[in-house]
Amino acid sequence: MESIKVGLLGLGVVGGGTWKVLARNAQEIARRAGRNIEVTRVAVRDVAKARKLLGDAVAVGADPYAVVTDPSIEIVVELIGGETLARELVLQAIANGKHVVTANKALLAKHGSEIFAAASARGVIVAFEAAVAGGIPIIKAMREGLTANRIEWVAGIINGTTNFILSEMRARGLPFEAVLAEAQKLGYAEADPTFDIEGVDAAHKLTLLASLAFGIPVQFEKAYIEGISKLAAEDIKLAERLGYRIKLLGITKRRPEGIELRVHPALVPIKSMLANVEGAMNAVLVKGDAVGQTLYYGKGAGEEPTASAVVADLVDVTRLLTSDPEHRVPHLAFQPDAMADTPILPIDDVITSYYLRLTVADQPGVLADLTRLLADSGISIGSMIQQPTDTASESVSTSANDFVHSADLIFLTHEAFERNVNKAIAAIEALPFVRSRVTRLRMESLA
C-alpha cells in the first residue's frame, strides 16, 4: 500500500525527536499502522541546520505555507509552537482537507473551540496527545479508556520544568535560576520559560483535561493560575518537616455549583503518589465514579518522550483514515452537540485546606486571638506548630512591644472556602502583634 505522506512544521526538540523515532522504528510503526508513514516535506527557519539531520531525501524549506498547501500531504504535524502563525497554519491545513497532529497546548487551550469546529466541519482529525503530559497517553486514556465513567476530578503534575525545579531545589538545595537553566538545556522548558514558571503551561494542559473530563468547551481564560516564582525555600523545607511536599498541581474538580479549574503550588502528603513524582516526570491522577483513582505516570517533556506521543497520533490518524468522520472518536471525548455549559467557579469559591505561615510577637494572648479570628471566619485548625524565628528578624523593636521576641506560627487548616481564608488573612495581617505577611499555600489530600 502507498505510504502516507506527512508534512512537518518545525524540527526542534519535538520535531527532531519525531523524525528520529519515525526513522528508527519505521518497520514496527508500519506494522502497527498498516502503512508506511513518510515525512516528505519539512519547514524550519534554519534550513541548513535541518539538512544536517534530514539529509537530502526530504524537501526542506523556510516557508511553512508550502507544507500546508502541498496537495500530496495528508497529515500536517505542527511543532513550531506559539499561537499566531501556528493557528493560521493549522486552520489552513484543515481547510485544505489535511489531518493535523500537534503538540501545541497553548494553541488548543486558547483556540481549540475554533480549531475543533473547523476540523469537524471539514471531516478531518486534530490529534494532540503530545500536548498534555508529553509521552504519557493521557488523552487516549481519558477520551477512550475511561469513557464509562463520570469523572469527578483530575489532579496532576503536568509541567516537567517546574517539577524538575522543585525537585532539585528540595533534594539538592540548588538555587532556582541554576535549575531553570538546566531545564532549558535539557529541552524541557517552553520557548518563553515564564510560561512554565508562572503556571501558564500547566493551565493550558489542564484546560484540555477539563474539557475531556467534563465535556465542557476549552476555557483557558477562566483558569486560576499561580506559579512557583514566589515560593520561598523556607516553605519547601517546612512542608517536608510537616510530612508534605510542595508540587505545582493542576486540579480540575466537578462540584454541584460548577467546575474548579486551578493551577497553583500545593502541599501534598509525602506518602501520596504525586509527592514522589520527581524531576521532569509528570503524573496525572484521574478519579472516575466507576474505576476509582487511576494514575498515569511518565516523562512529561523532552525530545523522544514527546515524539512518542506525536507518532502515536500519526498511527492513530493513519488507522482512522478509512473510517467515516461521524464514526470517529470526538476531539474532546464528548459529541460536539452534547457539550455542557457548567460554569467554571471563581477561585474564591474553591474549597481546600491551607498552610498558613506568619511571624508574630511571642507574647501572651497571641494564639488565643488568632485561633478566635480563624474560628470566627469558619476556619477550623487541623494542626499548628510554633518555632523561634531565625535570628535575622528576631530582635524587632517597636514602640508597642519593645524587645519582644518573634515566633513563627504555622497553621494547617481543615477544608475552608478560599474567600473565608482570604478575609481571615487580611484581618490577621492588621493585628498589632503580627510581624509579617501571611504565607498561604493550598493543601491537597488527593483522597
Question: Which of the 8 DSSP states describes residue 228?
Answer: S
**Least Cβ distance, residue 20 to ligand NDP (angstroms):** 13
**Sole binder of ligand NDP in the list 33, 37, 43, 285 (CB under 6 A):** 43
What letter represents residue 259's amino acid? I
Give the contact letters, 76-95, x = binds to ligand NDP (CB under 6 A), - = no.
---xxx---x----------
**Least Cβ distance, residue 187 to ligand HSE (angstroms):** 9
Cα separation, 132 vs 208, whole angstroms = 8
Tell me whether strands 439-443 and 258-269 are parallel, antiparallel or unpaired.
parallel
The reply to whether 227 sits near ligand HSE by the rule CB under 6 A is no
The reply to whether 13 sits near ligand NDP by the rule CB under 6 A is yes
Residue of 125, 97, 127 lying closest to 327 (CA atoms): 125
For ligand HSE, the binding residues in 106-135 under the rule CB under 6 A are: 134
- 45's contact among ligand HSE, ligand NDP, none, with CB below 5 to 8 A by partner kind, is ligand NDP
Nearer residue to ligand HSE within complex by CB, 201 or 408: 201
C-alpha cell at 372: 478566635
What letter represents residue 163's amino acid? N
Please write down the long-range contacts of 186-195, taking CB distance under 8 Å and 24 or more positions apart. Answer: 186/280, 186/302, 187/13, 187/301, 187/302, 187/303, 188/160, 188/161, 188/164, 188/280, 188/301, 188/302, 189/161, 190/81, 190/161, 191/81, 191/82, 193/161, 195/106
Give the contact letters, 191-230, x = binds to ligand NDP (CB under 6 A), - = no.
x---------------------------------------
For ligand HSE, the binding residues in 186-225 under the rule CB under 6 A are: 188-190, 196, 201
**Sole binder of ligand NDP in the list 4, 8, 12, 180 (CB under 6 A):** 12
Give the contact letters, 142-181, x = binds to ligand HSE (CB under 6 A), - = no.
-----------------xxx--------------------
Residue of 369, 44, 413, 118 lying closest to 242 (CA atoms): 413
- 207's contact among ligand NDP, ligand HSE, none, with CB below 5 to 8 A by partner kind, is none
Rounded to a whole number of angstroms, the CA Rg of the chain reads 25
Side-by-side strand order, sheet with 37-43: 59-61, 37-43, 4-9, 75-78, 99-102, 126-127
Residue of 333, 413, 353 lying closest to 132 (CA atoms): 333
**Least Cβ distance, residue 158 to ligand HSE (angstroms):** 7
Cα separation, 309 vs 298, whole angstroms = 12
- 433's contact among ligand HSE, ligand NDP, none, with CB below 5 to 8 A by partner kind, is none
Catalytic positions are 205
- 135's contact among ligand HSE, ligand NDP, none, with CB below 5 to 8 A by partner kind, is none
CA 34 to chain centre: 33
**Least Cβ distance, residue 444 to ligand HSE (angstroms):** 20
For ligand NDP, the binding residues in 299-338 under the rule CB under 6 A are: 301-302, 306
3-state secondary structure of 264: strand
Q: Which residues bind ligand NDP (CB under 6 A)?
A: 10-15, 43-46, 49, 64, 79-81, 85, 103-104, 130, 134, 187-188, 190-191, 301-302, 306
Binding site for ligand HSE (CB under 6 A): 134, 159-161, 188-190, 196, 201, 300-301
